[in-house]
Each structure stands twice: as C-alpha cells, then as structure tokens.
Amino acid sequence: MRDFVSSNGIDTRLVGMVISLAVIWIGFHALSDGKFITSRNLWNLSVQSVSIGIMATGMVFIIVTRNIDLSVGSLLGFLGYTMALVQTDGRISVLGVNISVENLKVHRCYTWIAALAVGLVLGALAGLLQGSIVAYVGVPAFIVTLGGYLAWRGLIFRTGGKQGQTLAPLDDTFRYLGGAPERSLGEAKTWIAAVLVCVAIVFSIVMARRRRQRHELALRSRSTDIGFAVGGCAAVLAGVYFVAIKYKSPQTGDPVGLAYPVIILIGVALLMTYLARRRRFGRYVFAYGGNPEAAELGGINTRRTIVYTYMLMGMLCAVSAAIQTARLNSATTNLGVQNELDVIAAAVIGGTSFSGGIGTIPGAVLGAVVMQSLRSGMSLLNIDSPSQDIVVGVVLVTAVAIDALLRQRRRASVFGALGAGAVVAAWVIQTGRP
Amino acid sequence: MTATVSDATADGPRVPLCELRDIKVAFGGLHAVDGVSIDLYPGEVVALVGGNGAGKSTLIHTLSGAHPADSGQIIINGQPAVIHNPRDARHYGVEVIYQKLALADNIDAAGNVFLGRELRSRTGALDDEAMASATQKVMQRLNPRFRNLKTAVKSLSGGQRQSVAIARAVHFNARILIMDEPTAALGPAETAQVRDLITQLKSEGIGIFLISHDIHDVFDLADRISVMLQGKLVGTVNKVDVTKDQVLAMIIMGKKPDEVTEEQIASLHDS
C-alpha cells in the first residue's frame, strides 16, 4: 500500500487526512443515530466549510513562506462591510475620504460585480500594504498583521459614516454567492458542473502523460492512469449525487444541487493548486519556505514573492467576505471575528508546517472540512460551543504533534499521539452530551 | 572549450577568463578586502586560501554578485563586467556552489537545477517535464548513478546534493565556477566524487575558483594558490613551485616563500 502510494505521486499526508475525516464522519454518524452522513447534513457542511476553506488556501502560501497573517478575520469584516456599502449606499467614505462607486453600477444587474470588484481591489491593496511592510521594511509578520487585526476591525466603524450600523439588505444577485438551498445550482447545472470536473480530471491525466512521453521520462503504468481517471470521476459523480441531488428542497421537492459558494471553493482550490504546482510564483513560495537563503542566492525576488502571497490572501478574504455577507444578507461589525484562528487551524490541520516549505492546497481545504465536521457533528449531539472549542483545540495540537513526530521519523510515537488526542476529544464529547 | 590545462599558468597572449583588479570592500571601518587582484584562466583551478576572516569569501562575493565591491574592476573575457546581483553574475557565466549547498530542500533535483531560471511552456506554466529531462541528461554526465529525480533534495546524501548543485552550474554552461568549501559537508567517498567532478570540469575548459580550508584539497586540485591575510593578498604561487609548509607560512605569517626562514617554518609545527 505504502509503495503504491509513494510510487504514484500520491501525498501520504493527504491519504492520512482522508482516512481521519472518514473516521470522524463514521464516528459522528454512529453517535448521532445515523444523522450525520445524510444528504442534508453534508450539503450544509459543504456550504459551511467554504469561507474558511477559501482563506485557508491563501494561508498555506503565507505559512509556507514562514510568515503568518492574523488580520484575515478583521480584513474580512472590513471588506464585507465595504462591499455591502457599495450595494446599499453606492458610496464608500473611509476616514473622511469619499469615493462614489455609483458609476460602477451602470446598471442594476452590475451591482454585484461592482461590489465584488471593490472588495477584490481593496483586499489586494490591504495585502500589498501588509506584505510590503513585512518584506521590504522587515517588520515581523506577526506584528504587522496583529496591527492589521486591530486596524481593519476598527476601520469598519469609520467607514460609511454610520458608526458601524448593520447594512442590509444586499443586492439580489449578490446573494447567490451565499449558498441558500433556494439559490443553488439545481439539478441540470449541477450535473453539467460535475461532468466538467470529470473532463478536467481526464484531461489533466492525459496531458501529464503526453508531456512525460514527449520528454522520454518514465511513465506510470497505463492501467494506473486509467484507474485514477475512473476512480476520480466516479468519486466526483457519486459525491455530487449523494450530497447535492439526493438533497431535495423542502419547499419544491426538487433536487437542490450544489451551492454557488461550493463551486467557488472548488474553483479557488483548483486555481491555487495550479499556482502552487505549475507556476513560477508557487515554485518560489515553496523554495523560499524550504531555504530562504538558497532562494535568494538563486536570484529569486523573494520580497516580491512574499508581497504577492499577502495580496492573494487579501483577495481571498474578499471572496470569503462576499460569501459570508451574502449568506447573512447583511454586513455587521463582528463579521469574521475569530476567523483568523479557524483559518490558521484549518491550514495547519491540513498539513501546513510552521517550519516552512511544506503544505498543500487540497490539505488546507480538507483541514477546513475536518474542523467544520467536528463542529457540525458536535452540534448534532447538542454539545455546547465552549466544549466544541476544547475539542477543536485538542485536534489542532494533535495534528501538529503528528506532523512533528513524522518529521522526526518517530513513526511509533505517531500512534501514541493520535490515540491520546482521540481519547481526550472523545472524553470531552462523551461527558459534554446533555 | 579550447583551453588546455598543462600551460594554464604560462605567460602568453591568452586572455584570462576573469580578472579581479584592485578590489576593495569595507564593512564600516573594517577593510574586509583591501586592494586585491587575482585572475583565472580557462581550464584552471585557482585556490583561494586564508584563515577565518581573511576576506576570501568577501572577495568572491564581489564576483558572484552576493555583495558588490566598493571599488575595483571585474574583467571577464577581456571586457569590463558590471555585477550587482547574482542574476548579473550568471549573465556573465559565473556560477557559484556555496559552502552550505544553497539548495531548496523541499524541492526535487530538477527544480533546484533550474531554481530562478525555470523553463516555461507557452502558457507560462512550469515545464517540469522539460526540466526533468534536461536534468537527467546533465546527471548522466556528472553522476550516472543518480536516480532520485523526483524526491525532495533534503532526503539525498551529501554527495548527491553536491551533484545537484554542480549540475545547476554545468547545465547553464558556466565558464567561471566558484566553489566555496565544496567538500566541507561531505564524507571521504563523496569528497572523492567531487574531486573527480572538478577534474572533469577543468578538462572542459571551465575556470574554477576554489575556496578551501583543506590544504590537502588545495594541493590535489589547484594549479595556482592565492593566499589572503587580513583583507590583503599575500601572493599567488604555482602549486608545483611550493611546499605545503610554505603555503602555511603564507596563510599564518603572511610571508612569501622567499621571505620565510627554515626556523619560522619549523616554528609552525611547534605551535
């Protein structure tokens, strides 16, 4: 098994995570008398994981380059509030500066695009500012983004001239980003999306094989490639069917289909994976994380690379902010509070290492799903939120302990750490049940 | 690649690959390198030796672009060269193999060979397959037993890592190679491997600056030896004209072979 996994370029950490996730799901399914692995619950889980999942992919690049971003929750709040202002007032005023975005909304049906554009641009600028201070001034990332954590949240109250009044309602089209059952893809579009993903899987496997053939490099066996293609497509189609098609709308009885935010998360994850593995920028991010000196001596513009990681993070905050505000149909001042901790935890549970150079995008998304599964499962068991925090904390530390032990090649101790973490978490869950 | 090794040190009309003239570098008030001139001919190994803080690395950094000179001239193939950063240096065919093996540990061999100079397809995506294939070809020349093209270099042995570092220089047709303590991190078998490599690179007409503490390495590999002490050049000698003791006297006392007495050399062994 191990030989098969390593010789075919499969990430062993990822396999471990999928297995842990399966264990968590089956465990909660048993404890909740079969309420966990149901279409409705998994559909909700998919939507609830999106916001943290999207930001976690950006946090991977930041932690891989040995930095941190504590400001994402506050930045998300600020960007969400600004995007809501575009939709409600059509005007942004920050610290006495007034910017009218009325012109951007040439027509009512462009309002959501204008809001999203403003959010993405401001997010990128915020990242440019924080990243430049980290990379060019040399202030530790922890401090810069701690400043951002305070400043962006405070800025919400100085934006829009309303002392942080809740902004609602939002643009009708914009609300599709939020992922309510009645604003989802529906049956036909869901199948089209699923088939497109399958085509993409087959295409990427075929292209990879052709490129290797052209350069006369060793090939994976044909049957392995076919196995991956068939297995991947089957998993996608089965998952989509079980989660999105089998879940029928309570009002109409029609299949709900995938939620738009889930499509966005898939798109973001694919794009970020492409950046990480196939673009120079991603190569430099990982090279710098593995050995900053070597990257510098290799002639890489390491400072610019770091600034880009923060700009990307800022833009992903905007995407998540759009999803969260659209879901609530309003923007409040406490939007995104504590999200920075969930995002960092998701990236770390997903195998991103604080020692730099190690981390994957699918891992981070899985990390977000693992965290949300724990919370959602415990909610099903009526376990209160403080107890949930204890469990998530235990899982976080256990995940990092396993990572540390693996890197020290102490394989036997891994099971000890896993067992200890699982026992403590199970004990907290069991004793916390009403 | 027309140079021969045997007459590398002979005076003649041949143009040096590289000349450093009157190089000065100061850190604050400290003159780390104070008016040093050295040169390098094709197919030649010039060893740069001296104690800690003698200024060898600082001198060579002016050529590699890691730290530009305050004043002085760098002449490559008879033309003045302007080198401000590692990228400029590479443009002139100067490649460096660093003491601490400047490799990105978590990236595979091909990724390291092409680090900072990745091959890209028309869409701008990394062309990993082209890089892997080119790396395979260079490796066949340098270290035919090298197989681990897909693993992160951190799990390679010291000798294999050194092969990757050298492959990087060779693939990009280095004309001038700077090796900073190339065997410091290696065991005996791997050291022998690196020595073979250096001999092969010489035969291809590449000029090598070898920075080393190991007097045995220096005598095995170098054609000429330049000795530095406290930022100044003590002198440059042909290896065949001197003994190890005479070179030690230059390193420690800053005295050229014709200035040093038998007693002084004897005293080196006492201390």
**Residue pointed to by tokens 């190890």:** B244
- Provide the strand spans (E) within chain B: 18-27, 30-40, 45-49, 71-76, 79-80, 94-97, 176-180, 207-211, 224-229, 232-238
pLDDT in tens, A297-322: 888 999 999 999 999 999 999 999 99
What's the rounded mean pLDDT across residues A269-283?
95
**Residue B45 CB neighbours (<10 A):** 26
Q: Are B18 and B64 in contact (CB under 8 A)?
A: no
Alpha carbons B173 and B206: distance in angstroms, whole number: 9
Specify if B56 maps to a domain.
yes
Q: pLDDT at position A83, please?
A: 95
Nearest Cβ partner for A299 among B90, B100, B152: B90
Q: pLDDT at position B13, please?
A: 62
Interface test with B, best of A66, A214, A215, A220 (most B CBs within 10 A): A215
Burial class (CB in 10 A: 0-12, 13-18, 19+), A412: exposed
Specify if B95 maps to a domain.
yes
Specify if B168 maps to a domain.
yes
Strand partners, B1: none
pLDDT in tens, B77-130: 989 999 988 888 988 999 988 766 678 989 999 999 999 899 998 899 999 889
pLDDT in tens, B221-255: 899 999 999 999 999 999 999 988 888 889 888 88
pLDDT in tens, B122-147: 899 999 889 999 999 888 877 777 87
Nearest Cβ partner for A215 among B105, B118, B129: B129
Q: pLDDT at position B101, please?
A: 64
Burial class (CB in 10 A: 0-12, 13-18, 19+), B243: exposed
pLDDT in tens, A138-155: 999 999 999 999 999 999
The residue ranking higher by pLDDT, B260 or B48, is B48
Q: A61 to chain B, minimum CA–CA distance in Å?
A: 14
Q: Taking CB atoms and an 8 Å limit, are A9 and B150 in contact across chains? A: yes
Q: B154 to chain A, minimum CA–CA distance in Å?
A: 9
Q: Taking CB atoms and an 8 Å limit, are A290 and B105 in contact across chains? A: yes
Percentage of residues in chain A having pLDDT higher than 70: 96
Confidence of residue A6 (pLDDT cuts 50, 70, 90): low
Specify if B78 maps to a domain.
yes
Q: Is a pLDDT exceeding 50 seen at residue B1?
A: no
Looking at residue B31, what DSSP letter applies? E
Chain B from 144 to 163: CB within 8 A of any A CB = 150, 152, 154
Give the residue among B12, B36, B13 at the shortest CA–CA distance from B24.
B36
Q: pLDDT at position B100, please?
A: 67
Q: A299 to chain B, minimum CA–CA distance in Å?
A: 6
Confidence of residue B270 (pLDDT cuts 50, 70, 90): low
Q: Is a pLDDT exceeding 90 seen at residue A101?
A: no
Residue at A315: amino acid letter: M
Q: Are B177 and B209 in contact (CB under 8 A)?
A: yes
Q: Taking CB atoms and an 8 Å limit, are B115 and A211 in contact across chains? A: no
Average pLDDT, chain A: 91
Q: pLDDT at position B76, please?
A: 93
Q: Are A132 and A144 in contact (CB under 8 A)?
A: no
Give the residue among A287, A275, A290, A269 at the shortest CA–CA distance from A364.
A269
Specify if B8 maps to a domain.
no
What's the rounded mean pLDDT across residues B42-71?
90
Give the residue among A425, A381, A350 at the shortest CA–CA distance from A21.
A350
Q: Is a pLDDT exceeding 90 seen at residue A190?
A: yes
Alpha carbons B151 and A9: distance in angstroms, whole number: 10
Alpha carbons B258 and B256: distance in angstroms, whole number: 6
Residue at A320: amino acid letter: S
Q: A399 to chain B, minimum CA–CA distance in Å?
A: 21
Q: B249 to chain A, minimum CA–CA distance in Å?
A: 34
Average pLDDT, chain B: 85
Alpha carbons B59 and B49: distance in angstroms, whole number: 11
Confidence of residue B3 (pLDDT cuts 50, 70, 90): very low
The residue ranking higher by pLDDT, A124 or B101, is A124
Q: A331 to chain B, minimum CA–CA distance in Å?
A: 39
Stated as kind and residue range, the H or E segment containing A98 is strand A97-100
Q: Taking CB atoms and an 8 Å limit, are A286 and B106 in contact across chains? A: yes
Looking at A133-142, A376-385, B50-59, which range is the least confident one? B50-59
Q: Taking CB atoms and an 8 Å limit, are B104 and A278 in contact across chains? A: no
Interface test with A, best of B67, B120, B126 (most A CBs within 10 A): B126
Alpha carbons A355 and A357: distance in angstroms, whole number: 7
Q: Measured between alpha carbons, how far is residue B247 from residues A106, A168, B224, B231, B269 in Å? A: 81, 83, 11, 17, 13
Q: Domain limits at B42?
A: 14-270
Q: Is a pLDDT exceeding 60 seen at residue B191?
A: yes
Q: Are A176 and A326 in contact (CB under 8 A)?
A: yes
Confidence of residue A106 (pLDDT cuts 50, 70, 90): low
Chain B from 211 to 270: CB within 8 A of any A CB = none
Q: pLDDT at position A103, please?
A: 66
Specify if B7 maps to a domain.
no
Q: Is the pTM of this model over 0.80?
A: yes
What's the rounded mean pLDDT across residues A80-108?
80
Q: B68 to chain A, minimum CA–CA distance in Å?
A: 14
Q: A212: which chain B residues are within 8 Å (Cβ-Cβ)?
A: 129
Q: pLDDT at position A13, please?
A: 80
Alpha carbons A369 and A386: distance in angstroms, whole number: 20
Name the strands in the sheet holding B232-238, side by side, starting at the edge strand that comes first in the sequence.
B94-97, B176-180, B207-211, B45-49, B224-229, B232-238
Confidence of residue B2 (pLDDT cuts 50, 70, 90): very low
What's the rounded mean pLDDT across residues A38-65?
96
Confidence of residue B156 (pLDDT cuts 50, 70, 90): confident
Q: Are A359 and A347 in contact (CB under 8 A)?
A: yes
pLDDT in tens, A327-338: 999 999 999 999
Q: Is a pLDDT exceeding 80 seen at residue B12?
A: no
Q: pLDDT at position A339, please?
A: 95
Q: Is a pLDDT exceeding 80 seen at residue A279?
A: yes
Q: Taking CB atoms and an 8 Å limit, are A299 and B124 in contact across chains? A: no
Nearest Cβ partner for A280 among B87, B126, B133: B126
Q: Is a pLDDT exceeding 80 seen at residue A243?
A: yes
Q: Measured between alpha carbons, how far is residue A257 from residues A42, A130, A174 in Å? A: 12, 39, 18
Report how many domains make up chain B: 1
Interface test with A, best of B67, B84, B87, B105 (most A CBs within 10 A): B105
Specify if B74 maps to a domain.
yes
Give the residue among B87, B112, B258, B8 at the shortest CA–CA distance from A287.
B112
Q: Mention every residue, 6+ apart, whose C-beta is less than 8 A from residue A73.
A: A149, A153, A336, A337, A338, A339, A340, A341, A343
Q: Are A255 and A245 in contact (CB under 8 A)?
A: yes
Q: pLDDT at position A366, please?
A: 96
Q: Taking CB atoms and an 8 Å limit, are B116 and A298 in contact across chains? A: yes
Helix ranges (DSSP H) in B65-144: 86-91, 109-113, 128-142
Specify if B53 maps to a domain.
yes
Interface test with A, best of B107, B162, B171 (most A CBs within 10 A): B107
Residue at B34: amino acid letter: D
- Domain with residue B71: its CATH number is 3.40.50.300
Q: B85: which chain A residues are within 8 Å (Cβ-Cβ)?
A: 299
Q: pLDDT at position B8, please?
A: 44
Strand partners, A159: A94
